Every structure is written in C-alpha cells, then in structure tokens.
Homo-oligomer: A and B are copies of this chain.
Amino acid sequence: MKTADAPKNGFRPPAVPDVEVRGFWGDRVDAVAEKTVMILYERCVAAGMLDQIDPDRPVPELRMPFHQRADGSPDTVNVQMFWDSDIAKVIETAAYALYRKPNPDLEAKIDAIIDMFHKLQQPDGYVNSWFIRMQPGKRWINLRDCHELYCAGHLMEAAVAYFHATGKRKLLDVMCRYADHIGAQFGPGPGQKPGYCGHEEIELALVKLGRATGEQRYLDLARYFVEQRGQQPHYFDVEAEERGADPKQFRHRTYEYNQSHLPVREQTKVIGHAVRAMYLYSGMADVATEFGDNSLTDALKILWSDLTTRQMYVTGGIGPAASNEGFTDYYDLPNKSAYAETCAAVGLMMWASRMLGRGPDRRYADIMEQALYNGALSGLSADGARFFYDNPLESAGDHHRWNWHRCPCCPPNIGRTVAAIGSYMYAVSADEIAIHLYGESTAKLKVGATPVTIDQSTTYPWDGRVSITIGVDAPAAIKLALRVPGWCRKATLSIDGEPIDAAKIEDKGYLRIDRLWQGGEQIQLDLQMDIRAVHANPAVKADLGRVALARGPLIYCVEEVDNAPGLDGLIVADAAENAGIVSIGELGGAVAVDVEARRERWPDWDGKLYDTAKPELEATTARFVPYHLWDNRALGEMLVWVRAQR
C-alpha cells in the first residue's frame, strides 16, 4: 500500500487519533466512548441488525414493513435495507471510542461484526446484508431507492476509522475488495453500468478509502460517480425500465430529491433531501481537492452561497420540511416545525470541512462551527444517552430527546462526529497547518515529513482566550493559519509575548503566520467574545420582529425551566445590553446569559379569541442557555427566536 500524494494546494484533515481533545470536547468524547457507543451497539442488536448481517444465523423474517406510498400501497424501500450503514456508523464510532479508551469487550463485539461482514462477502467481493440474505438476486437493479452504494460507503468509512484506531485491517481489506468489485461494475466501459447511488455517500467514502490506502483508483471511482450524476439518458429512468417499472412512479416525484436532476456542475440551488445534498457536496469537494478541480469548486461556491444565505437556520440546521426531509422555498425557515435533521447538520459540517480542502477560508469554517455547536450537537444529550432526530428552534414542550429511532441514522452519525471532532479542528497541506476550531487539545501532525505538535490550552467555547504551544523536533519552516471567527469583533495575537498586528496578516479570516519554529513558542490568541443580538433577514417571516442571542459560536435559547411557561410572552431589546453571563452547574458549567426583558401579561383570555384589552409589560430577567443543551433538564417549552422590543 502506497501513500497517496498530497493534493496540489490541498488540505486534508488529520486522522482522528492524531488529535487528543480535552476540556469541552474531551467531556463530550468521553460520554460517547463511555456511554453512547454501547447504547448504539445494543440498540442495533435489539433491532435485529446482526440477525440480518450474520451469515451463520438463519435468514430472519422482515422486521420492518416496507414504506407505504401516499395511497397506502407498498413502496420498494424498507429501513432494513440500509441497516449496514447504521452498523457501519456504530463501527466508526466504536473505532474512535476505542482509540479514546481501550475497551476489550467493545472491541471484541466490533471484531465479531467485522467477522460477519467478512464471512458475508461473496467470492466476487460483493457485501450487502440485505441483497445477499433478504432479497438475493436483486443486486444493482434499483440504485435510486435501495441505498446499496450508500451502505458500501458507510462501511468504507468504518473500515478506515477502525484501521486508524486499532491497526486492524480485516474490514479495510473487505472493503477494498468490495470497492474493487464496485469499480468493475460501474463505469463507462462495455458491460459496466453508468450508474450512481440515489443516496450519495460512496463518493466521499471512496476518497477517504483512497487517502487511507493511497490507491488512486478509489479517487477515480469517486470522481466517476460525481461526474455521472444527472447525465442523460438518466440512469434512474433507464434502470427503472430495465426492471419493468414506470420511471414516473417515483415516490419523491422529481430527481431534485436526490440531486440527480442536473449534472452536478449545472446545479445552482440546494434542493431535495438535505442529508443527500450535503453528502453529495462533500464528495464533490473531496474530488475537487484531490483533483484540483476548480470547476467543481466554483459550482460548490454557488451552492454554498445558496444554502447559507437563503436556506439555513441560525443553528446551522438545514432542511426545514419533514415531507422530503429536506429543502423547500428560499427563506422558508419555520421554527416549531423545523425538521433540521441532526444528520443534515452533521452533513453541513462535513461539506464545510471539505470546502476547507481548497485552503483556509472563514466563509466555510464559520458555518462548520455554527452547525457543529448548535444544530448538530443538539442531537446528542449532554450525557450521551439520548438523541434528537429533528432539531426545531421552538417547542411547546412536546419535543423530547429519544432513546432510539425507527430510522436510526442520526444517533450514530452524531456519535461518530463528536468522537471524530479532532479531525475537524485541523487541516494540513504540504507546508501549512490550519487551525479551524479551537479547543483544549493536543495534535500530533505531520507537515510533509516534519512532525509538529500543537497544544491548545483554552476553555473555548466558554471563553475566547486560546494559548497555543508549538512543538517541533528541530527548527522547521511551517506556515500556520489561525482562524478568527466572523463573530469576533477584535482578535489579539502575540507570540512569546510579542504582539503581532492581526489585521496585517489576515487573509480570508485566517491569521497566516509564516516563520521558522524553534519549538516551544507560545502563541496567545484572544478572541473577543461578546454577547450578540442576531437578527434574521426580514424575508424570513418566521423570525420577523424577533431576535436570537449568540455568544462565540453558540446560539442561545430560552427554556421553560429557567423562565416559566409562555416563552412567547418574553420581549427583549434587540441589543445585547444589560446582559450578564453566569455559569450553570447542572449544565456542566455552561455559560448562560441573563438579559433584562419584559413579559407580556394579558387580562384573562378565557373564552375569547379577539379582544381590545391591552397587555401589561412586566419587567423580568430572561435566562438564555446554549441551544445545544436544551431538553437536558426539565421538560418544557423552548424558544430560540425571542420577540424583540420595537
């Protein structure tokens, strides 16, 4: 196995085990390693996933009904079809957990699952529990609906993670053989299918596999799937006709649902199923990085702007509608009914991190951090035991974290993301290290052949002061890019006590430092962290006349437990004046914000729908807590966008 050359001008994330996190993220990763991962494993077992995967067990009966069409007739898709992907994300989470903390019991369980996949693998390399055991003989006939390549992709990600964490390559070898089988099946050649998956994922997974193994052919296959998407004649039409189905009988009606309505470079509107869209753009960005493909990057920039300036919640949540688990009209961002699936915010982080493959740019890192700390992290309870699938920005008190979900994609997705947080914090090119995210941690990176240790000491995100110590074995000329978040109104930098004019070395929101490091240098970066009153573009009707509070990367909310019921009666000034911060013990020392506010008190409305009586405005203090921590205490109402004084 050779190591793939670093892409020209490209930045790649470090492997997860290369970064040891402590502090804020250390606690979160510990929760995943100590609790979440076993919950994930046990619930997958309870769901019957291993009965389906293990070739030594009898073929089980169908556990889940097939989806129904609107008229009640059965669809072609069943949740069990993509159980391989759920188990794969559990393996991936377990890999990072095992790196964090040895756990022989867990490792044995995961090894056993890997053995099942190894035994399941067919002589030609094919691996998919559904189509080997539940619906044999139906391989590759419905890429549009059946998640077949999607499952392969998640297993590839799991294989790379498990290899990095444990050094064990059994699953990696299985998946390389499967990738080679897939490479033989799909392509422009005679006897090959010019297809691609209805649910994107394999594109980014093949890049990960290529990077881990150094095999260019996996990168090439990723590029093929990206390029082929949306070409005419449309593959999903052709395969439907080949299997005797009417292509028009597609439950989601238009191929916008899976972003195959147009070739990818012609797409300008972020559309359809949100997770699919994010995984596609992630794969496109990876391919752009690996191949230095500016035309792909240009298309992605248009899509990025489309998403982040018209279709994204302030939490970084995306995909407002449950009906398509995805996008609707521009500025349609209802708060209470927000779908904003955890997986979609994770997907946005993934896309953002991959846009950084073309170099440091705050435009992407800011949104990555916004989605991470808010719309994604909200998907996991503070103790790592319960999950949100959808992440509304308002609740009447009836939206609570779940133990599990019928479609269990989100729990392992947020689990693997939290456990892999170190790989999002940094990116490394041939001669530069970019620090995208701050947090108490130690990273052992390699720039070219030069090992560099980066030690961050900080209580970020609760405070903006970050001390960074550089470690090198011998003097080394390495560039360093330190992100200054867009929310930071003043950043102060010094190296070994010597002030540096941050404005002079800022480029695209990063302080670019180019010097010969002796080792032991202390970089002090102070990011001023104000309380911010955030307004939404008035085109977002749902937020009109309302204000959201933010501090650093965190979006805040009010909860009933702190503020009594009737949160929509609270009115705050749209400036963040008269606000103070306080640490909340029962939320692990999280920083809350107390704001002087008024509360609307109405005369009795009993039996009345409309009235001319006026409300009284009572002075009060509103307590805001970080959005990602909501529903970790008493059940009750929650609100992000609070009414603003006018």
A533 to B615, CA, bound (A): 12
Per-residue CB contact flags for chain A residues 40-82 toward chain B (1 = under 8 Å, else 0) read 0000000000000000000000000000011101000000000
1/0 per position for A350-383, CB-CB distance to B under 8 A?
0000000000000000000000000000000000
Known A-B contacts A643-B545, A646-B600, A646-B643; A611 and B71 likewise in contact (beta carbons under 8 Å): no
Assuming the A-B contacts A69-B71, A73-B71, A545-B545, are A610 and B534 also in contact, with contact meaning beta carbons closer than 8 angstroms in the complex?
Answer: yes
For the complex, is A143 an interface residue (Cβ under 8 Å from B)?
A: no
CB distance from A610 to the nearest CB of B (A): 5
A614 touches B574 (CB 8 A): yes
Measured CA separation A544–B314 after assembly (Å): 21
Asked if A544 meets B568 with Cβ closer than 8 Å, knowing A538-B602, A607-B305, A612-B535, the reply is: yes
If the complex has contacts A70-B71, A532-B612, A575-B614, are A605 and B537 also in contact, measured as CB distance less than 8 A?
yes
Chain A residues bordering chain B, tally (CB within 8 A): 47
Bound form: Cα–Cα A571–B645 in Å: 11
User: A569 interface residue, CB < 8 Å from B?
Assistant: yes
B541–A568 touching, CB < 8 Å: yes
- At the interface, yes or no: A512 with Cβ under 8 Å from chain B? no
Question: Are B610 and A314 in contact, with the CB atoms below 8 A?
Answer: yes
Against B, the Cβ 8 Å flags (1 = close, 0 = not) of A328-342 are 000000001000000
Known: A532-B612, A643-B545, A646-B646. Contact between A607 and B568, CB under 8 A? no
Query: Is A617 part of the contact surface with B, judged by Cβ < 8 Å?
Result: yes
Question: Chain B contacts of A539 at CB under 8 A?
Answer: 605
Q: A312 on the interface (CB 8 Å rule)? A: yes
Do A535 and B609 touch (CB < 8 A)? Answer: no
0 or 1 for each of A530-565: is its CB under 8 Å from B? (1 = yes)? 001111111111001100100000000000000000
Assess whether A403 is interfacial by the CB under 8 Å rule: no
For chain A, what secondary structure do more than half of its interface residues adopt (helix, strand, loop), or is it mixed?
loop
Q: Which residues of B contact A70 (CB under 8 A)?
A: 70-71
Binary contact track A271-298/B, C-beta < 8 Å → 1, others 0: 0000000000000000000000000000
Which of B69, B310, B608, B610 touches A609 (beta carbons < 8 Å)?
B310
Q: Give the Cβ gap from A527 to chain B, nearest Cβ, in Å.
A: 16
Decide yes or no whether A9 CB sits under 8 A from chain B. Answer: no
Within 8 Å by CB of A569, from B538, B540, B608, lies B538
A602 to B540 alpha-carbon distance, docked (Å): 14
For chain A residues 63-121, which have a beta carbon within 8 Å of chain B? 69-71, 73
Cβ of A598 < 8 Å from any Cβ of B? Answer: yes
A453 an interface residue at 8 Å Cβ cutoff? no
Interfacial chain B residues near A611, Cβ < 8 Å: 534-535, 537
Interface check A613, CB cutoff 8 A: yes
Is A309 engaged at the interface, CB distance under 8 Å to the other chain?
Answer: yes
> Does A308 have its Cβ within 8 Å of any Cβ on chain B?
yes
- Docked CA distance A533–B610 (Å): 10
Contact residues in B for A598 (Cβ distance below 8 Å): 646
Q: Which single residue of chain B is at the shortest CB-CB distance from A617?
A: B646
The CA-CA distance from A70 to B70 in the complex, in Å, is 6
- State the CA gap A308–B309 with chains docked (Å): 41
State A605–B533 Cα separation when bound (angstroms): 16
Nearest chain-B residue to A331 (Cβ)? B609
Q: State the CA gap A600–B309 with chains docked (Å).
A: 21
Q: Is the CB of B608 within 8 A of A537?
A: yes
Contacts of A600 in B (CB 8 A): 538, 646
Q: Which residue of B lies closest to A566 (CB)?
A: B538
Q: Write the A306-349 contact mask toward B (1 if CB under 8 angstroms, else 0).
A: 00111010100000000000000000000010000000000000
In whole Å, how far is A384's beta carbon from the nearest beta carbon of chain B? 30
B312 and A538 contact, CB distance less than 8 A: no
Apart from A70-B71, A532-B612, A539-B605, 12 more pairs, CB < 8 Å: A70-B70, A71-B73, A535-B602, A535-B612, A535-B615, A537-B610, A537-B611, A538-B600, A538-B602, A544-B568, A545-B545, A575-B614
**Pairs across A and B, CB under 8 Å, 6 listed:** A314-B610, A532-B612, A534-B612, A538-B569, A544-B568, A571-B646
